[in-house]
Amino acid sequence: MTSNSLVGTKELKHRIETHEARIGIIGMGYVGLPLALLFSEEHFQVTGFDIDAHKVEILNQGGSYIVRIPGNTIQMARDSGFRATVDYGEIAQMDVVILCVPTPLDEYHAPDLSYIRDTVRSIAPQVHDGQLIILESTTYPGTTEEVVVPLLENGNQADLRMAMDDVSRGFYVAFSPEREDPGNDSIARRDIPKVVGGCGAAAVELASAVYASIFNRVVPVSSPAAAEMTKLLENIYRCVNIALVNELKQLCMRMGIDIFEVIEAARTKPFGFQAFYPGPGLGGHCIPIDPFYLSWKAKQFDFHTKFIELAGEVNIGMPYFVVDNIIEALSQRRKSLFGSRVLVLGLAYKRDIDDLRESPSLTIIELLQKRGARVEYNDPFIPSAGQGRKYALNMTSTSLDRIPEFDCVIIATDHSQYDYPSIVSKAQLIVDTRNATKGLTADNIVRC
């Protein structure tokens, strides 16, 4: 390592350890905003970047657009120097830049890296020597080295060894996967270990120092690809096990066995078993998507991830399974789905959050509408739902007082605010996909 590189690394590390480093976080969503608040709590100077001017305005006024983050938390961060902007030109003023942008699938279930590419192209002219760039977005192994680094170096992919060499490059690049679990208050965010993989030893050292300032444990790995694969393993592990219980639920229904009773009995084993629970399908940004990211990348190595792809297919099929059961339940009451009024309880993908990314409720609503049902929804955390990447609902949340008006009420998300005995007493028909009515016995309940 050259003496200039040594000096640059030492200077940046000193600024990080003394909390003098200026932190820029791109993407003020469910990952980027909580991360910005953690740095603000440690009195770093933090700037949040986002292309959504409305979000930026809300943050700069001390407000919040995420249910689990109260406005007073934003105001406290602002008092510590946090601010938001749409001006990517300010990237040049940052010592550390962390990218927390979406990585969805396209219509063919292939990775859509457009947000990463567009963001990196936008910041590349502002990146300078001695700056640390960290990608947090969930993606396939190789993205950091094969996509981010070349774009930062103005598209020069001629010598990947040079791109991996933080000595000759002048700036540092690392990958550290986000580990957000919206709605989970059982573990403090600081207590979630942070995995870090860097393009070279200096990048690992600096990125580890950055995260050690806000997390209680940092776990360095040998490369960005290893860190990227770590994130995929974590989520595919959940995806595969959820697919297993989803398939077993379908079998148990045919056999007249309560799958939830079986799971509760199995979880009494003090070793070798972890409980996973079935539902109407997977939601959230990571678990429904990650298997397809890895299977796409695996094909470049002439390898087919049959087991992982099958799990993804099982989970994708669950909303269709739910709709088939709704049709059957209505037909037993001499009603057709076509023209029936259906209320979906819960638009978010999991309990007690306001996040509807990849929510199975969206697919269920779409399928019901295609079959001629008149669909409305209720969600205490989502008062209105307009148009998104994969949906165009343009709906507002319906009052629960209107439950008796509907031919069928579907419990798609088991929010804790719902009074399930009251809902059951008012509804003509309940289709429960979450076992939310456990312990209740009524002729109008169908569990699937």
The tens digit of pLDDT for each residue in 217-272 reads 999 999 999 999 999 999 999 999 999 999 999 999 999 999 999 999 999 999 99
Under the phi-then-psi rule, with left for phi > 0, alpha for psi from -120 to 50, and beta for the rest, what region is 413?
A: beta
Query: Any residues with CB less than 8 A from the CB of 270 and at least 6 apart, and which?
Result: none
Q: What does the alpha-carbon distance between residue 47 and residue 33 come to, in Å, rounded to a whole number?
A: 10
How high does pLDDT run on average in the chain? 92
Domains in the chain, CATH or no CATH each: 3-222 (3.40.50.720), 224-316 (3.40.50.720), 317-448 (3.40.50.720)
Q: Which residue has the higher pLDDT, 327 or 2?
A: 327
- Tens digits of per-residue pLDDT, 108-157? 778 899 999 999 999 999 999 999 999 999 999 999 999 999 999 973 33
DSSP-derived 3-state class of residue 21 = coil
Least confident of 168-172, 190-194, 226-230, 304-308: 168-172
Query: What 3-state class would DSSP assign to 139?
Result: coil
Strands (E), 384-427: 384-387, 392-396, 408-411
Mind listing the pLDDT tens digit for each residue in 390-433? Answer: 778 999 999 999 999 999 999 999 999 999 999 999 999 999 99
- pLDDT band at 5; cut points 50, 70, 90: low
* Catalytic positions: 286
Between CA 241 and CA 274 the distance in angstroms is 9
pTM for the whole thing?
Answer: 0.89
For residue 187, give Cα distances in angstroms to 39, 179, 182, 278.
18, 12, 11, 23
Q: In degrees rounded to 5, what are phi and psi of residue 328?
A: -65, -45
pLDDT of residue 162: 37
pLDDT at 161 over 50: no
